[in-house]
Copies of this chain bind each other. A is one copy, B any other.
Amino acid sequence: MNNCPNTIEVCFSPRLFGDIMTRGDYIVVLVDILRATTSICTAFENGVLRILPVDSLGEAKAMKERGFLVASEQDGQKLDFADFGNSAFNFTSEAIGGKTLVYCTTNGTRALEIAKPAKKIAIGAFINLSALANWLESQKSNVVILCSGWKNKFCLEDTIFAGALAENLLGKAGFESHCDSAVAAIDLWHTAKNDLLGYIEKAAHRHRLKRLGLDDVVPFSFQIDQTDVVPVFEEGEISNVKLLSNENH
């Protein structure tokens, strides 16, 4: 069994996740570059202890009342009761170091719910690309890269990340792919990679964030390998498995 290569599939929308044909155990890499998964990686880089994702505003509000720090937004806007919106720049060491953060977003948390049949769910962003790829290599498991999209629609920024990660994994021993989505994502990554910020000017969500005044985080979100954290969702919470594994040694 361990001699068979592990497969890589790319899923362009949570709506398509049920059609993914991966057999057996697989790890999902959840991607929401603008902005949830970039923000989560940033929070772990800056020392957050754990993140509790919730999928409803009511639950987020209840957690706030129980004394947790809460990041919550709707359609890109921070909600009044919350401590933070969804920008990575909120999650400084001073604000979240050593603490537990409750996290609720429009897209990301719902995709997390959909991916729950997976063995593990890892959080992927350009800022932790190589660390994530190395961890995935160590897991000897099939991989499904799940793009959150925008309201279930295909989105460019998640897709080019999926292409970058798929290409990185296919360059390692033990992976193969027979998935048209992976081919397309890798080709789009090649089209984009020499000028990522220029390319992403074509993305609808980049302009949506601009209209909302929330696009200050865009350049940071496309900087590759800014952190070696690997946030993984298991048993209701996200923790940094890279850190845990270091602590075990």
Interface residues of A (CB under 8 A from B): 12-13, 15-16, 19-21, 151-156, 159, 178-181, 183-184, 187-188, 190-191, 202-205
Contact = CB atoms under 8 A, between A and B. Distances in A.
A152 B181 CA distance: 12
Contact of A16 (B154, B180, B205): B154
A16 B16 contact: yes
Nearest to A205: B180
Contact of A156 (B154, B180, B202): B180
Contacts of A12: 12, 154
Contacts of A181: 153-154
A184 B155 CA distance: 9
A184 B204 contact: no
Contacts of A15: 13, 15-16, 19
Given A15-B16, A188-B187, A180 B151 contact: no
6 contacts: A12-B12, A19-B153, A153-B181, A183-B203, A187-B187, A187-B188
A102 B73 CA distance: 52
Contacts of A152: 16, 19
Contact of A191 (B19, B187, B203, B204): B187
A159 B181 CA distance: 10
A27 to B, nearest CB: 20
A151 B203 CA distance: 27
Nearest to A157: B180
Contacts of A180: 153-156, 159, 202-205
Contact of A188 (B21, B179, B184, B203): B184
A97 to B, nearest CB: 36
A221 B167 CA distance: 29
A8 B8 CA distance: 31
A210 to B, nearest CB: 13
A98 to B, nearest CB: 38
List 8 A-B pairs, minimum CB-CB distance, nearest first: A19-B152, A156-B180, A154-B181, A183-B202, A187-B191, A155-B180, A180-B204, A15-B15
